Amino acid sequence: MHALGIDIGGTGMKAAPVDLDTGKFLADRIKIATPQPAAPDAVAGVVEKLVTAFSWSGPIGVTFPGVVINGVTRTAANLDKAWIGLDARSLLSKAAGQEVRLLNDADAAGIAEMTFGAGSGEPGTVLMVTLGTGIGSALFVNGILIPNTEFGHLEIRGKDAEQRASERAKNLHDMNWKQWAKNVNEYLEHVEALLSPQLIIIGGGISKQSDKFIPLFTGLKAKVVPAAMHNDAGITGAAMAAHPGSAAPARAGAGANANPSLGPTLGTSGVAGTHGDQGLPGFPNPGLPE
């Protein structure tokens, strides 16, 4: 099964068709700079361009760098404020020429990593953190996603964490690896104190250079690893959300089926729901209330 994944970021918008059985791209991704200001119509125009560039007519999933509940975008820390409260799914569906699925960008990246990447088969509490224009977070408990967690906006030393520890902050304040790693380390210690994950997956484009900063972390009990798909995880996760009936999201459990931010969908069992049958295969029923 194939789907087109589109990842809307504060800096770039990326798309690629994805094979949902492997998570791999079927063609080279296309990247277009996010329009500035990143107003809804301008961003929708780029979505249209990306769909046209691949002459795509199958399912489409789109990520958004903010809270998404049932297709409505609730926050927009790094995009134009006109997104707040907007029925973004309708706008982007019109632009794409067909119904799209819309979810938070870090949630999408996390779903992809839990299925095909660094979190594959990992039980217990796993946190994915994406370090880019902002800081995104995706929290999993036994493979089930708790969507829209927004841990990038925790306050550290009186500032929004993403103002100190995102990739953008590193560039903006011209921090060297050591200085920036210290900020990220402090941020992760804070998050660890709140959530006690046993695995932290670091995503975003900068995760390609993880050897420059992950070895500098100290004092963390969690295992910290780079995302296997780096900045491509969001595209794969978007495509997975587009096709909730596909083998991949069913395996992820956490994926599109169980994501309340996408609205009710039918799982492979034909039952709309959020309970344990959507967990990773071989994993205990997480015991969520039915």
> Based on CB atoms, which residue is closest to ligand BGC, 157 or 221?
157
Provide the 10 A C-beta neighbour count for residue 150. 18
CB 277, min distance to ligand BGC, A: 28
Q: Please, what is the angle between helix 88-96 and helix 40-53, to 10°?
A: 40
CB 135, min distance to ligand BGC, A: 6
227 is written with which tokens?
């995302």
Residue sitting closest to ligand BGC (CB): 134
> Based on CB atoms, which residue is closest to ligand BGC, 66 or 253?
66
Contact footprint for ligand BGC (CB under 6 A): 65-67, 75, 77-78, 104-106, 130, 132, 134-136, 150, 152, 162
CB 75, min distance to ligand BGC, A: 5
CB 269, min distance to ligand BGC, A: 30
Q: Which residues pair with 69 in a beta bridge?
A: 72
> Based on CB atoms, which residue is closest to ligand BGC, 185 or 261?
261
> Based on CB atoms, which residue is closest to ligand BGC, 123 or 162?
162
CB 238, min distance to ligand BGC, A: 13
> Based on CB atoms, which residue is closest to ligand BGC, 134 or 143?
134
> Based on CB atoms, which residue is closest to ligand BGC, 104 or 257?
104
263 is written with which tokens?
């609205």
CB 205, min distance to ligand BGC, A: 12
